[in-house]
Chain A
Amino acid sequence: MTGFLAQRLLQYILTLIAGSFAVFVATEFSPGTVSSKILGPYAVQSQVDSLSARLRLDDPLIERYGRWLTTLAGLTDNPMAAKEVGLGLSDPRGTRYVGNLGFSLMLKEPVIDVLADRIGYTILLTVCSIALIVPIAFGIGVWCGLKAGSLLDRVLSTLMAVLTALPEFAFAVGLTLVFVIWLGWLPGTSMMLPGDKWGMVSQLVMPTAVLVVASATYVARIVRASVVETRKRPFVRAAELKGLPPRVVVVQHVLRNALIAPVTVILLQVNWLLTGVVVVESIFAYPGVGSLLLQAALFGDIYLVQALTLMALTVAVGTQFLGDLCYMALDPRIRVA
C-alpha cells in the first residue's frame, strides 16, 4: 500500500515537473519576446537587447528553466529588481527567497504578494460553493436514485440535464436579470470592497449561486447514476433477501458503495473552483485568481501567468492525489491494484 502511494506520488511529481516546463516553454518560447514584453510596445530594439543581456534571456530555454526553478526554490538571485536593470521594481524580501516567482509587470509588485492578495478570495468562494454543492447534489441525487423512474425523478432528471448544458455566463445573465435588475435584491458586481453599500455577504451571493447551480446539477446527475447502478448489484439484492430493513440496506450497502464515483467528481469541482472560475469572477469583477489570470494573460504579464498556471497545476495534481487517498479509504480492493 505504501508502495502504491509512493509510486503515485512520484508520478505526480514528474507530471508537475513536465507540466511546469510546458508552461515555461509556452510563455517564453522565443528569445527576445520576454524582454519586449517587460518593456512594452514602445521600446527600442537596443533597449530590448540590453535588457535581454542583463537578465541573460538569450540563454537556451533549458538553462533559463533551470534558473527559474532554482530562483523559485530560493537558491539563486532574481536579477529583475537590481538597480542597474532600471525597471524600478523592488522586493522587501530581497532577491533570494523561497517562493520567488519574479514580478508582476502589470501591477509592478512581486508575484508572491499579488497571489497572497487574491488567493483568500478564491478560497472563500470555493468554500461557500462546496458547502452548498455537496448537500444539494447528494440530497437530490440520492433521492432521485432511490426513486428512479418516478414522475418527480423524471422531471428533476430532465431539469438537471438541461441545467448542466447551460454555459456559466448564461446562468449569470439570467440570475442577474431576475435578482439584480427586476427584484433589486443583490448587487451586480462583487468587488468585495469594504466601503461598498452592499455588505460582503450579499456580494458573495451572486457568484456563489451561479457556481452552485452550474456545478451541483452536474454532480447530482453523477450521484443519481451511481446510486441507480449500485442498487442493481447482487450484494444489494442479497441484503434485501436476507431481510434487512430498507433503511439499513440503503445506508450501509447502497450509499457507501455509491459514494466512490462522486468523490472524484467532487474533487474535480474543487479543482475547478480553485483554478478555473475565470468566467464567473470576470462577470462579477470578483477579485479571485480566475479573473486575475485573464487580466494577466491579456496584458502579457508572463511571470504572473507562469505563477498562476503553476499554482493550477499544483492544485490539479494535489486533488488527484487526494482522490487516490479517498478511493483507498472507501474501497479496500483498490489498494491491491
Chain B
Amino acid sequence: MLRGVGERPLAATGATILLLWACIALAAPWIAPYDPLALDFSGAINHAPSAKHWLGTDSLGRDLLSRIIFGARTLFAVVPLAVGSAFVVGIALGAIAAYSGGLIDQVVSRASDVMLAFPALIIYVILLTSLGPSLINIVIAVTLAYAPGVGRLARGQVLAIKELDYVKAAQARGDHPLSIIVFEILPNARGPLVVDLSLRAGYTVILTGTLGFLGLGLPPPTPDWGAMVVENTQLLSSHWHMAVVPCLAIVSVVVACNFLADGLRD
C-alpha cells in the first residue's frame, strides 16, 4: 500500500507536507529562533514582521514563528495519540463484537448507535468542560467520539472475512480466537481502516484547532495553533497575518491528510 504512494502525485504531496511538519515538530528546539514562551518587551510590542522577529510578536511579546514551530509539536502529540487510541479501542470492540456475535454484538452495536446519535462537538464540549482540558482528557473525548464509528467499520470487515476458508482452517487448528482476530483477520481488513484513519487524522487536526479556538484545548501557555488564531483575531484590523498564519498552518496539515486519504483510496 505504501509503495503505491510514490506513483500518485496527490498522495505523495500529502505525505511530503506531513513529513515536513513532523520534522519541524521533532527539531523544534533547534530551529525555532526563540523560546515560544519567552516575552520580548524590548521597545514597543512588535506585531509587524521584522528582521528580528520574522512573523512579528503577539500581544504578549512572544515570537510568532517560534510559536508556530512549537505548535506543530502540540499537534503531533495530540493527533496521533487521540486517533491511535480511538482506533485501538474501536477496532477491538468492533472485531470482538463481530467475531463473537450474539449478545455481545447486540450490546456493542446498540451502545455505538446511541453514541453516534450525539453531535460530536457536544461530546467534546461536555466532557472537556467537566473533566477539564488536558492531553489525556482530549484523548479520552476523541476516543469516545470516534470509537463507535471505527468499530462499526471494523465490524463489517470482520463479519465478511470470518467466513473465509483460511479463518475456518485456523479455527479447526484450534487457534485461540484472539490470535485468529489479530493474525488472520485484521491484516486482511486493513485497507478501508487505513483510509478511514487518514481521513479521521485530518478531521482531528481541524478538531484540535477548533478546541483550541473554543478555549477547550491544552491550557494557555502551550503553543496551540487554534488558540493562536483566537488570541490574535483582535489584531485582525492592524496586523492580519497574526491570525492568518496559524490558520494556514492548520489548513496545510488538513489538506495534506485529505490528499493522502484520496490517494490511498484510489
Where the two chains meet, the residues of A that have a C-beta atom closer than 8 Å to any C-beta of B are: 11, 14-15, 18-19, 22-23, 26-27, 29, 161-162, 164-170, 173-174, 176-177, 181, 271-272, 275-276, 278-279, 282, 293-294, 297-298, 300, 305, 308-309, 312-313, 316-317, 320
Please state if A275 and B244 are interface contacts (CB–CB under 8 Å): no
A22 to B213 CA separation, bound complex (whole angstroms): 27
**Nearest CB of B to A144, in Å:** 16
Q: Is there contact, CB below 8 Å, between A312 and B210?
A: no
With contacts A165-B258, A294-B214 taken as known, whether A316 is within 8 angstroms of B118 at the C-beta atoms is yes
Chain A positions within 8 Å of B111 at CB level = 18
- Specify which chain B residues have a CB less than 8 angstroms from the CB of A177 in the assembled complex: 236, 240, 244
Residues of B within 8 A of A278 (CB): 121, 125, 214
Q: Is there contact, CB below 8 Å, between B114 and A293?
A: no
Once bound together, how far apart are the Cα atoms of A298 and B130, in whole Å? 8
A-B contact pairs, 7 of them (CB 8 A): A26-B127, A167-B209, A167-B213, A170-B247, A278-B125, A279-B210, A305-B126
- B126 and A312 form a contact (CB under 8 A): no
- Whether A169 contacts B117 in the complex (CB less than 8 A), given A27-B126, A300-B129, A309-B122, comes out as no
Scan residues 84-136 of chain B and give those whose CB is less than 8 A from a CB of chain A. Answer: 110-111, 113-115, 117-122, 125-127, 129-130
Task: Give the 10 A-B CB pairs with smallest separation, nearest first.
Answer: A297-B129, A276-B119, A170-B247, A165-B254, A167-B206, A18-B114, A316-B117, A165-B255, A297-B125, A169-B213
Smallest Cβ distance from A249 to chain B, in angstroms?
28
Q: Which residues of B contact A19 (CB under 8 A)?
A: 114, 117-118
Q: How many A-B residue pairs lie within 8 Å, measured between CB atoms?
A: 114
Asked whether A173 and B119 contact (CB < 8 A) given A167-B209, A279-B213, A309-B126, the answer is: no
Give B231-252 interface residues, CB cut-off 8 Å to A. 233, 236-237, 240, 243-244, 247, 250-251
Interface: B262 (CB within 8 A): yes
Q: Are A167 and B258 in contact (CB under 8 A)?
A: no
Interface of B is mostly: helix
Residue in B closest to A172 when the chains form the complex, CB atoms? B233
* Docked complex Cα distance between A232 and B129 (Å): 49
Q: What residues of A have a CB within 8 angstroms of the CB of B229 in the complex? A: 169-170, 173
Q: Main SS of chain A's interface residues?
A: helix
Taking CB atoms, residues of chain A closer than 8 Å to B262 are: 161
- Tell whether A312 pairs with B122 under 8 Å between CB atoms, given A169-B210, A317-B117: yes
Assembled-state Cα–Cα distance A298/B230 (Å): 17
- Whether a CB of chain A sits under 8 angstroms from the CB of B226 is yes
Complex contact B247–A173 (CB within 8 A): yes
Contact of A275 with B119 at beta-carbon distance under 8 Å, contacts A26-B130, A165-B255, A170-B247 already known: yes
| Interchain CB contact (< 8 A) of B250 among A23, A167, A305, A313 | A167
Task: Provide the bound-state CA to CA distance between A278 and B210, in Å.
Answer: 10
In the complex, which residues of chain A have a beta carbon less than 8 angstroms from the beta carbon of B127?
26
In the complex, what residues of A have CB within 8 A of residue B226's CB? 167, 169
Contacts of A272 in B (CB 8 A): 119
Cα–Cα, bound, A76→B143 (Å): 37
In the complex, the chain B residue whose C-beta lies closest to that of A170 is B247
Contacts of B213 in A (CB 8 A): 167, 169, 279
- What distance in Å separates the Cβ of B21 from its nearest Cβ neighbour in chain A? 15
A170 with B251: CB separation less than 8 A: yes
**Cβ-based interface call for B36 (8 A):** no
Q: Does B202 contact A (CB under 8 A)?
A: yes
Least Cβ distance of A101 to chain B in Å? Answer: 16
Beta-carbon contact of B122 and A282 below 8 Å: no
A99 to B176 CA separation, bound complex (whole angstroms): 53
* In-complex Cβ contact of A312 among B119, B202, B243 (8 A): B119
Which residue of B has the minimal Cβ distance to A316?
Answer: B117
Cα-based distance from A164 to B255 in the complex (angstroms): 9
In the complex the two chains form, is A279's CB within 8 Å of B237's CB?
A: no
- In the assembled complex, which residues on chain B have CB atoms less than 8 Å from the CB atom of A23? 126
A residues in contact with B251, CB < 8 Å: 165-167, 170
CA distance A166 to B206 in the complex (A): 8
Establish whether residues A271 and B114, one from each chain, have CB atoms under 8 Å apart when the complex forms: no
Question: In the complex the two chains form, is A276's CB within 8 Å of B236's CB?
Answer: no
Kindly state the separation between the CA atoms of A19 and B117 in the bound complex, as whole angstroms: 8
Instruction: Return chain B residues, CB-CB under 8 Å to A305.
Output: 126
> Taking the nearest CB of chain B, how far is it from the CB of A280, in angstroms?
11
> In the assembly, what is the distance between CA of A169 and CA of B229, in Å?
9
Alpha-carbon distance A297/B114, docked complex (angstroms)? 21
A22: chain B residues at CB < 8 Å are 114-115
Contact of A167 among B115, B129, B210, B244 (CB under 8 A): B210
